[in-house]
Amino acid sequence: MALPRMLAPLAEVLAARGPQGRVLHATWFAFFLVFLLWFGHAPLLPAIRAELGLSDAQVAGLMVLNVALTPFARVLVGMLTDRLGPRRTYALVLVTGGLLTVAFALARDFTILASLRLASGVIGAGFVVGIRMIGEWFPRERLGVAEGIYGGFGNAGSAAGALILPGLALLAAGGGLAGWRIALAAAGLVAMAYGLLYLWLVRDAPRPGGFRAARRATVLGVRDATDLRLYTLLLLGLYAALGLVTWRLTTLGLLSPTAAIPLLLLLALLWILDVARIRRAQRPAPGRPAPEPVDMRTVALLALSYAVCFGSELALVSFLPTRFAEMFELSPVAAGVLAAAFALANPLGRPLGGLFADLGDRRTALTLMLLGIAAGYVLLARLDPSWPPVVAWLLVFGCALWVMAAEGAVFAWVPRLHPRATGRIAGLVGAYGNIGAVVFLGLYPLLGMADLLLVIALLAAALVAVLVGGRAATPAPAPAGR
């Protein structure tokens, strides 16, 4: 009886009716389309390579460019969400993403393909829009569950794309255009149509006119000098991640070292200018009030936690299929099924993480999830080729549940920090998920799978020590007017 009672909030949120239920399901489906567009080209890369004669380095470059600008895009789209509202912002992301996808489907030159994949980083920023939308519509005692459903169901879009788009391309083959082009163009047109439909389906807040836009949704406010230093360091991580992407493109031979040096210097200059802008914004002036302060210590903790959980998820789904194929001498299809445990765990793990955060203290919930990640990755690092593949699958699925639950716990906490700044906070925290992936994928060739998993486990354990030590502030009650 205890378990059904504990899961009752999950069933209650899933069964929500009226405008609240419509917002939940319309928004997770919007995120579903975001992931389908963002990674929809990945399962079609063999056909794209064959038609356009791409090299291995060019194919790898497309995958790197696809996520290169997403950290920045998440921060910028978070600002836009707090200013325009999630309804119009999500519609804009879907229409823009659809146009970029259609353009990619029509491209016939690698330079154009690469430019479009770089621009497609904005598609992945759609996630932060829904965090604010769900935060506006659900009460605090159900907020973690609702955010978990949104994130978990939406993340399944990449898996759906891998299942649907190759089959659609096969059916469409034989026409005037290659099948992969028709499949991607169709996905882009569906997203554009749904973006316009989303404007009609939802509104920004339960009460008409109830959405409170931030007056100056450009930077976050800080409480003291320590918070300001943390803020500048978090921004440094964004620019450093783009520097790592630049280095990766040079190792692939797609960017010369001569061209990379000015780019790296430009990134350093942009960071300095960004820090100066943030410092200036903290000082009120006539007609320019200082932004409302946010607990930046907790924002930093949540950003680093998301780097560990979502960053490790993106990294593992990138190299696990190949590693399993080598370790267990499996076909690519069979190895992909083993690695698909992460995709299967998403719709279950994120809502459960949000549920546990709702039922108890959010700090305790996140601590337990990070402990589970640390223990799971230590076990996964000991994976041996002599073990049956089914044991490997169960181990990966178990690790994935802890990872997804941690993601749910993080974003059960984010909307509680400051409702009117939720978009900007979610953008910064979400950006660190991609930064984690960039770092872990960069370390993988140097360390190998086992040592990399131990490094991630160590990072998770370090975050547990910070949480247990009480250095993260307990989330304050949300201001009235949610």
Q: Which CATH architecture has domain 291-473?
A: Up-down Bundle (1.20)
Amino acid, single-letter form, for residue 306: Y
State the average pLDDT for the chain: 85
Compute the average pLDDT of residues 375-384: 90
Cα–Cα dist 188/167, whole Å = 16
Other CB atoms within a 10 A radius of the CB of residue 5 amount to: 8
Cα–Cα dist 132/419, whole Å = 8
Q: Any idea which residue has 């250095």 for tokens?
A: 471
Query: What is the Cα gyration radius of the chain?
Result: 22
Compute the average pLDDT of residues 275-287: 82
Give every CB contact of residue 10 below 8 A, 6+ residues apart in sequence: 145, 149, 351, 352, 355
pLDDT at position 212 is: 73
Cα–Cα dist 95/196, whole Å = 8
pLDDT at position 177 is: 60
Residue (of 188, 208, 190) closest to 87 by Cα position: 208
Cα–Cα dist 341/334, whole Å = 12
DSSP state of 360: S
pLDDT at position 474 is: 46
> pLDDT tens, 290-345?
777 889 999 999 999 999 999 998 888 777 777 777 777 766 666 666 667 777 78
Do the Cβ atoms of 33 and 196 come closer than 8 Å?
A: no
Cα–Cα dist 126/119, whole Å = 14
DSSP E strand boundaries for 346-460? none
Fold match between 16-204 and 291-473?
yes
pLDDT at position 22 is: 93
In order of 87, 146, 399, 442, the CA distances from 136 in angstroms are 11, 11, 31, 37
263 CB-contact burial (10 Å; exposed 0-12 / middle 13-18 / buried 19+): middle
172 CB-contact burial (10 Å; exposed 0-12 / middle 13-18 / buried 19+): middle
Given a cut of 60, whether residue 482 has pLDDT beyond it is no
Q: How many distinct helices (H) and strands (E) make up the chain?
A: 18, 0
Residue (of 160, 137, 299) closest to 233 by Cα position: 299
Given a cut of 80, whether residue 479 has pLDDT beyond it is no
Residue (of 432, 448, 321) closest to 67 by Cα position: 432
Domain boundaries, the chain: 16-204, 291-473
Cα–Cα dist 131/151, whole Å = 8
Cα–Cα dist 343/154, whole Å = 11
Estimate the crossing angle of helix 296-328 against helix 332-339, to 10 degrees.
150
Q: What is the CATH number of domain 16-204?
A: 1.20.1250.20
pLDDT at position 152 is: 87
List residues bridging with 113 in a β-sheet.
Answer: none
pLDDT at position 477 is: 42
Amino acid, single-letter form, for residue 369: M
pLDDT band for 34, please (50, 70, 90 cuts). very high
Residue (of 19, 120, 21, 136) closest to 81 by Cα position: 136
pLDDT at position 4 is: 65
Give every CB contact of residue 66 below 8 A, 6+ residues apart in sequence: 38, 39, 41, 117, 118, 120, 121
User: Following CA atoms 421, 427, 428, 434 in sequence, which dihedral angle do they give, to the nearest 10 degrees?
Assistant: 170
Cα–Cα dist 425/421, whole Å = 6
Given a cut of 60, whether residue 1 has pLDDT beyond it is no
User: 328: which 2 tokens?
Assistant: 């267990």
> pLDDT tens, 151-208?
888 878 877 887 788 888 888 766 556 788 999 999 999 999 999 999 999 998 888 7
> pLDDT tens, 260-278?
899 999 999 999 999 998 8
pLDDT at position 106 is: 92
> pLDDT tens, 92-143?
999 999 999 999 999 988 889 999 998 988 898 999 999 999 988 988 888 8
> pLDDT tens, 404-430?
999 999 999 998 888 888 888 999 999
Cα–Cα dist 376/358, whole Å = 24
What percentage of the chain carries pLDDT values higher than 90? 39
Cα–Cα dist 425/295, whole Å = 10
> pLDDT tens, 196-252?
999 999 998 888 776 776 666 578 888 888 999 999 999 999 999 889 888 888 888
User: 323: which 2 tokens?
Assistant: 């590693």
What percentage of the chain carries pLDDT values higher than 70? 91
pLDDT at position 287 is: 66
User: 472: which 2 tokens?
Assistant: 């993260």
Phi, psi angle pair for 288, to nearest 5°: -140, 85
